[in-house]
Structure 1
Amino acid sequence: MSLNATPETALTIHELITEAASRYQQRPALFDGKNQFTFAELDKLSARVAKHFLKLGLKKGDVIAVQLPNTWEFVIAHLAAARAGLVFNPLSPNYRKNELSYMLGHCETKALITTNQLKGFRHDALAAELKESLPALEHTIITGASEETDHINFYSFMKEDPVGIAEEDMEQNLPSMDDPAVIMFTSGTESNPKAVLHTFQTFVPAHLMNGKEYKVTEEDTILSVTPLCHMFSLPMIIIGMKYGAKQYLYRDYQVDTVIDVLKRDSISFFIAAPAHLIDMIHHLRTIDRADVKMRLILTGGTKIPAQMVKDLRELLDCSVGAQWGMTEVCAGTFTRPDDNPSYAWETVGKATPAGEVIIVNDQYEQVPRGETGEIAFKGECLFKEYYKNEAATKEAFSESGYFLTGDQGWLDEKGYLHFVGRTKDTINRGGLKYHASEVEEALNMHPNIQQSAVVSVPDPRLGERGCAYVSLRENKSFDLEEMKQYLLEKGFAKYKVPEFLEVRESLPATPSGKISKGPLRKEAAHLQPSK
């Protein structure tokens, strides 16, 4: 058992499912506006799907990737993977061939679950293409009908238990607390993202402790409009299971329809990015809000606008929580529901019960309270390693074992973290993050471009947008629309395509010849979108 975890929170996911089914039985656990599942049904169906995973030849320690929106299929796949001892790798539906080829190949993923079509894109066709090109990818499983004949239909797993898989087979694959549970990709300092590995020990107990701090109970209905494939929302599945809360699954964010859901389904715990909340405030002012029964809104991912928090508290008469976290540390700090309201915009809260935050200087020495430096984290919820990247893992930690986040901040006398900014070269567009070097590497391969540098542009709604600075080869030209088309054709997700382009005769450089981004960031801070 971990240092702060209790028998109540030191659970694997399969133990959590069994406990929830026994305690909450026929209470509703999931609802998407059409389909509803009780805790007992989740227990039964996740066990059944887990058996089908084993029937396919998947075994404990194999990686299974899931690329789905916020749906009940995502939840059951997550729970079933845990019961079969598989390592769950949630992937954004925004990813395309460029990202998926690397991620699935890096993890030697054995099975991919995706949908047939989403927002006009044929995910089943891409899955077939990936299966042909990736030797380790043995199974592609599709939710929905598909013209591709080589796929397995996910819903076929739901009908009955497979022949030939006994309870003994399930027992042999059950994971322990120290077994790998989740791999999630994050942007690193290289062009390719890093695979963050969490065990059941680092993923489950801390989030159950956090759920208690959020004061989640059987009376709550939880709605996350941020993607379940991100660390901000994924833990809400197990938090809901532990405390008997109902989870409302919402696929496609539309400001008017999500407010209808808040009213109709009595959402009490709402997880959203600031961009979502800013949109909602304008709409909330124009409607009758009497039926919105909100208890807590949790947000994060960027500096929280003070006026946004004040407006939400006024309009909905609820608490607003601010959170700072990373895939590597989970929810590192957050404000509590009973905190002074100003903490939600002045700070990003105090440390999770499962961790500790300190501030260090350039020599990785701890600095006094009130002094700005790099945020460093240690705790039970800290990831185990960057999978298959020993050098990056070693580089990420100080000699005393603190994870060096690359973020800047300071701690006040009460232990609340004041977030200053991100020092790692990552663009955070509305909660969707990517590393600048991914785009730079592609731009540098364009025949007209000599050099490129991608930096963030502050944005009041999304937090950040991307701007590409380029210098061109002699007698060549390049414009914004050409850049967008080029990157999309290269297989980049749309959110990674910069929305600004600045062409320069040359880019500023350090004495060693490396591009100096400092002057570019200062310039980009004043950019305005074209009319």
Structure 2
Amino acid sequence: MHITDWIAATAAQRPLAPALIEAGPDGTPERTVDYAAITRAIERGRARRPGIRPGDRCGLAGDNSAGFVLQGLEIMASGACLFPISASVTGDTLEALAQRVRLHHLVAQGTWEQRPPSGDVDGCGDDHFRSLEPAYIRFTSGTTAANKGVVLGQQAIVDRIRAANRGLGIGPDDRILWLLPMAHHWVVSILLYLAHGACILIPRAGAPEARALASRSRATVVYAAPHDYALLADGAAPGGWPGLRRAFSTASGLSAGVAAAARQALGIPLTQALGVIEAGLPAINLRHAETKPLSVGQPLPDYQIWLRDESGTPVPGQGPDHAGEICIRGPGLFSAYLDPWRPAPPDGFFATGDQGWFDPDGCLHLLGRRANRIQTGGMKFFCEEVEAAIERHPAVAACRVAAESHPRLGEVPVAEIELRPTAAAPDPADWPPFLQSTLPPHMIPVAISVVPSLPRTPTGKIRRW
């Protein structure tokens, strides 16, 4: 089964039900797209435009909108492989990206362009690429290394969506407030919601307008990044949103401050999920969101998650002293890396490069990327641990930590902070006593500098040095 066949079957059962509600600048619903329109978009794709072959790589440039969703479905239904591109990518940057992916077609501002031949991606005339029934390409975030294009085949998408919804529990009565960029979040989100008959609420402005749309349209689910929840909570009246049953947090690590602020504003705890473009959504904190908001929870039924040490040996035990690299096995693993071309490993599991540990309840806690590890005087710790402690300060909106060479200790931590609006910079002398309550001496940064803003990836993650 192709994912657009699944969505079409759902649409046929509820043609007049709303699939997409797009808001105006004030948060008032401005455009409603029903499932009959979803069906028409898929039928246009099945008719297939002249010049499109199954497996052609087709870029779609645009921003969050109902039109972007309809155009994306049309491309996928044609048998082409969708490569979403942010509307902010233009000019020479867009052309360089199109050449890197070796696009056959590009859709921008509603106009289809058939691009001149630019070669294959697999070294064998795209035969291997097309044999995967490729449906979707997305680049990894590239926070710590060069980003890689991840290819998902049709079956991988279907398998991934089925497994993820055993945890998400999305159904036809749900209305999901959408705040993530569609150019980077599409499969276990937009496609999943439509396959299960839900309605997607698309705000077009800032947090106040998103709150207004959620209130007027009675949102039942929010799916967003920690950065989005911080904005939603800022200035929101406490007491919660009537009818809201889940608020899923993904795309980057959740801090205690954001979790607490969002809990007060929404009236329910944030449910953190482990989203990995190569593996899907293998863990969600469904059972312990209230008591352990910073955990990504237990593995979903269809997934196995285990830890391994640097030699590849499984790490037994529980607690932070039994940390290791997170490895995942389950349905919907990625089909190949695009650039450079590399098929998915045949052993059927994915080593994430992230470090974590399990608690006695089987909940997974993230420590950080192995590349973000600092060694000070023989003691190892992660940048993310230090960042979490610094972000407890009421003046700090975001933080990033890095290692700096030291002649005697090897490495020492240094930090940059981004302040909250109207907040004054803390006195440098106040940092050691503030951090001593949560960090041992070797983890306290030797320098903390204030910057106007920290660089972020398109998905909202802090970009590393």
- Does the pair score TM above 0.5? yes
1:188 to 1:350, Cα distance in 2 relative to 1, 3 A: same
Which residue of the partner structure matches residue 317 of structure 2?
369
Checking the alignment, whether the CA contact within 8 Å between 1:217 and 1:244 is kept in structure 2 is yes
CA distance in 1, matches of 2:165, 2:447: 37
Which residue of the partner structure matches residue 386 of structure 1?
337
- The one-letter code matched in structure 1 to 2:49 is K
Checking the alignment, whether the CA contact within 8 Å between 2:61 and 2:108 is kept in structure 1 is yes
Checking the alignment, whether the CA contact within 8 Å between 1:375 and 1:406 is kept in structure 2 is yes
Does residue 312 of structure 1 match 2:262?
yes
SS state at 2:332 partner: coil
Which residue of the partner structure matches residue 171 of structure 1?
none
Which residue of the partner structure matches residue 39 of structure 1?
35
Range with bigger deviation, 374-383 or 41-50: 41-50
CA distance in 2, matches of 1:305, 1:198: 31
Which of 150, 165, 185 is the aligned partner of 1:211? 165
Q: How far is the alpha carbon of 1:235 from its aligned partner?
A: 2.5
CA distance in 2, matches of 1:356, 1:463: 32
Q: How far is the alpha carbon of 1:418 from its aligned partner?
A: 0.6
Aligned 1:405-484 pairs, distance under 5 A:
405-424=352-371, 458=387, 460=391
- The one-letter code matched in structure 1 to 2:171 is T
Does residue 267 of structure 1 match 2:219?
yes
**5+ residue gaps, structure 1:** 1-10, 117-123, 139-175, 427-454, 470-520
Aligned 1:312-351 pairs, distance under 5 A:
312-336=262-286, 338-345=287-294, 347-351=295-299
Which residue of the partner structure matches residue 422 of structure 2?
none
Does residue 28 of structure 1 match 2:24?
no
Checking the alignment, whether the CA contact within 8 Å between 2:240 and 2:265 is kept in structure 1 is no
SS state at 1:81 partner: helix
**5+ residue gaps, structure 2:** 23-28, 120-129, 374-382, 405-442, 454-465
CA distance in 2, matches of 1:258, 1:43: 27
Which residue of the partner structure matches residue 18 of structure 1?
8
SS state at 2:355 partner: strand
Checking the alignment, whether the CA contact within 8 Å between 2:144 and 2:371 is kept in structure 1 is no
SS state at 2:152 partner: strand
- The one-letter code matched in structure 2 to 1:283 is G
- The one-letter code matched in structure 2 to 1:341 is E
Which of 80, 88, 95 is the aligned partner of 1:86? 80
CA distance in 2, matches of 1:425, 1:74: 36
1:1-50 deviations in Å (ceiling 9; x for gaps): xxxxxxxxxx4212212211222221111110222122122112331245
Checking the alignment, whether the CA contact within 8 Å between 2:167 and 2:284 is kept in structure 1 is no
CA distance in 1, matches of 2:64, 2:52: 24
Which of 379, 398, 403 is the aligned partner of 2:350? 403
1:281-315 deviations in Å (ceiling 9; x for gaps): 231137xx576432111112333223433443343
1:285 to 1:20, Cα distance in 2 relative to 1, 3 A: same
CA distance in 2, matches of 1:94, 1:400: 38
Checking the alignment, whether the CA contact within 8 Å between 2:178 and 2:222 is kept in structure 1 is yes
1:353 to 1:113, Cα distance in 2 relative to 1, 3 A: farther
Aligned length: 381
SS state at 1:331 partner: strand
Which residue of the partner structure matches residue 420 of structure 2?
none
CA distance in 1, matches of 2:155, 2:398: 33
1:401 to 1:45, Cα distance in 2 relative to 1, 3 A: closer
CA distance in 2, matches of 1:63, 1:408: 34
Which of 303, 310, 317 is the aligned partner of 1:355? 303
CA distance in 1, matches of 2:447, 2:162: 39
SS state at 1:344 partner: coil
Give the TM-score normalised by the residue count of structure 1: 0.64
1:402-446 deviations in Å (ceiling 9; x for gaps): 3221111112233321100123479xxxxxxxxxxxxxxxxxxxx
1:257 to 1:367, Cα distance in 2 relative to 1, 3 A: same
Which residue of the partner structure matches residue 479 of structure 1?
none
Give the TM-score normalised by the residue count of structure 2: 0.72
1:223-265 deviations in Å (ceiling 9; x for gaps): 220111224x54322222232211112234x121111111111
Which of 89, 96, 104 is the aligned partner of 1:95? 89
SS state at 2:265 partner: helix
Identity value in percent: 22
Range with bigger deviation, 289-298 or 352-361: 289-298
- The one-letter code matched in structure 2 to 1:242 is A
Checking the alignment, whether the CA contact within 8 Å between 1:295 and 1:319 is kept in structure 2 is no
Which of 125, 149, 153 is the aligned partner of 1:195? 149
Which residue of the partner structure matches residue 230 of structure 2?
278
Checking the alignment, whether the CA contact within 8 Å between 2:280 and 2:333 is kept in structure 1 is yes
Checking the alignment, whether the CA contact within 8 Å between 1:208 and 1:238 is kept in structure 2 is no
CA RMSD of aligned residues (A): 3.6
Q: How far is the alpha carbon of 1:522 from its aligned partner?
A: 8.1
Q: How far is the alpha carbon of 1:388 from its aligned partner?
A: 4.7
Checking the alignment, whether the CA contact within 8 Å between 2:42 and 2:73 is kept in structure 1 is yes
Checking the alignment, whether the CA contact within 8 Å between 2:241 and 2:266 is kept in structure 1 is no
1:247 to 1:114, Cα distance in 2 relative to 1, 3 A: same
Q: How far is the alpha carbon of 1:466 from its aligned partner?
A: 9.1
1:463-503 deviations in Å (ceiling 9; x for gaps): 5559999xxxxxxxxxxxxxxxxxxxxxxxxxxxxxxxxxx
CA distance in 2, matches of 1:300, 1:20: 26
Q: How far is the alpha carbon of 1:114 from its aligned partner?
A: 2.5
1:361-395 deviations in Å (ceiling 9; x for gaps): 0111111132111111122121111025246x67x
Which residue of the partner structure matches residue 102 of structure 2?
108
- The one-letter code matched in structure 2 to 1:381 is G
Checking the alignment, whether the CA contact within 8 Å between 1:206 and 1:353 is kept in structure 2 is no
CA distance in 2, matches of 1:322, 1:302: 10
1:349 to 1:468, Cα distance in 2 relative to 1, 3 A: closer
Which of 48, 51, 54 is the aligned partner of 1:57? 51
Q: How far is the alpha carbon of 1:401 from its aligned partner?
A: 4.4
Which of 187, 190, 213 is the aligned partner of 1:237? 190
